[in-house]
Structure 1
């Protein structure tokens, strides 16, 4: 038996009013409700929204890899 795995990637966007880290954690937490076997993530874009000259919230685009095969 070989030690190969097959993965699929999805792209999602997480948001937070407080930090980039929270935006990442919010996205992963929400995805984990329906996506199983998540193994890794990659931040592909970071942006934010400005209101009255201040950061109003952060948006982080993630690619999440999850296993579809363990064979």
Structure 2
């Protein structure tokens, strides 16, 4: 029987929410093995001069525990 663990991470990008999610996954994969899924829980944006300057995601990453 496999055990799945979930961690919650925050990431940001100056390009898009998709890029922020990709960054979250890339950073987590540096120390976590067997990643199976990412669930983007929340989207946020920082605004400067009436324009989005940073895209932010709050994501949950699931992986199988060895």
Q: Same fold (TM over 0.5)?
A: yes
Which residue of the partner structure matches residue 12 of structure 2?
Answer: 15
1:52 Cα deviation after fit:
0.6
- Quick check: which has more Rg, 1 or 2? 1
How many residues align? The count is 66
* 1:23-65: CA deviation from partner (whole Å, max 9, x where unpaired): 0001100110001111011110000100011000100010000
Which residue of the partner structure matches residue 60 of structure 1?
Answer: 57
Runs of 4+ aligned structure 1 residues displaced above 2 Å come to: none
Which residue of the partner structure matches residue 27 of structure 2?
Answer: 30
Q: Please, what TM-score do these two structures have when normalized by structure 1?
A: 0.88
1:19 Cα deviation after fit:
0.4
Q: Aligned Cα RMSD in Å?
A: 0.8
Q: Please, what TM-score do these two structures have when normalized by structure 2?
A: 0.95
Question: Could you list the runs of 5+ residues in structure 1 that have no partner in the other structure?
Answer: none
Structure 1 residues 41-60: aligned runs within 5 Å: 41-60=38-57
